Amino acid sequence: MAKRILIVDDSASVRQVSNIALTRAGYEVIEATDGQDGLAKLAGKINLIISDVNMPRMDGIAFLKAVKAHPNYKFTPVIMLTTEAGEDKKNEGRAAGAKAWIVKPFQPQTMLDAVAKLCLA
């Protein structure tokens, strides 16, 4: 059975590039447009989440904290895929539970490598 990945990003082009790369690599992909939409789409088994930081309605850090507070998803690995490159923001993400931080623009293979490492379980 394919691993399920939730992509949370307000950029349709980032979701599309990520979805294509992940689908070609054999993953099942669910897309969400922001943190609130991402929380609404948390259902069933999600093996990994990829989230932007800067989004309307609910940003990625608030989304990450909400995911980690949910009993069914508190151990789900989360990769932050964002334009934010500052150490303060990275530290905030790590403190909230992010397992990896990828800065945009990104190479899809970089994302796939991080996904493969975190989806071993």
What kind and span of H or E run contains 100? strand 100-103
pLDDT over 80 at 121, yes or no: no
Q: What is the CATH superfamily name and number for domain 4-118?
A: Response regulator (3.40.50.2300)
pLDDT over 70 at 78, yes or no: yes
User: Which segments of 13-84 are extended strands (E)?
Assistant: 28-32, 48-51, 78-82
Residues of the chain with pLDDT > 70, as a percent, come to 98
* pLDDT score, position 2: 85
User: pTM of the predicted model, to two decimals?
Assistant: 0.95
Say if residue 28 is exposed, middle or buried (CB neighbours under 10 Å; 0-12, 13-18, 19+).
Answer: middle
Task: Spell out the domain ranges in the chain.
Answer: 4-118
Q: Which amino acid is at 64?
A: L
- More reliable by pLDDT, 31 or 120: 31
